[in-house]
Amino acid sequence: DAKTTQPTSMDCAEGRAANLPCNHSTISGNEYVYWYRQIHSQGPQYIIHGLKNNETNEMASLIITEDRKSSTLILPHATLRDTAVYYCIVAGRRALTFGSGTRLQVQP
């Protein structure tokens, strides 16, 4: 699977948009971009995923660049409950490989 690069940590003010970047310059054509988060020691929670088009669901938006070498997860109105470690994962038809993720701290 392609390797991803994420900032180690980020802060965001409550109520503001949180924009989490991810670089995946070695992504191949059949690999999806997945975003998961882990709150404390809970199981990883699915957020969103996409192949090449931008995606939006009730939790977040995923913006993938045209060359697919990077993406941004957008939480439109961050709340304190969004404080978590966010994982950007690139994978094809196989198991996900987790990196160290971005620790997002939402500040009141």
Smaller CB distance to another protein: residue 14 or 63?
Answer: 63
In whole angstroms, give the CA distance from residue 4 to residue 9: 15
49 lines the binding site for another protein (CB under 8 A): yes
Figure out which of the listed residues 4, 34, 75, 102 binds another protein, where binding follows CB under 8 A: 34
Q: Is 99 helix (H, G, I), strand (E, B) or coil?
A: coil
Q: Measured between alpha carbons, how far is residue 65 from residues 27, 50, 52 in Å? A: 12, 11, 8
* DSSP code per residue over 76-91: TT--GGG-EEEEEEEE
40 binds another protein (CB under 8 A): no
Is there binding between residue 69 and another protein (CB under 8 A)? no
Selected range binding another protein among 20-28, 60-68, 69-77, 87-95, rule: CB under 8 A: 87-95
Q: Which residues bind another protein (CB under 8 A)?
A: 32, 34, 36, 38, 41-46, 48-49, 93-100
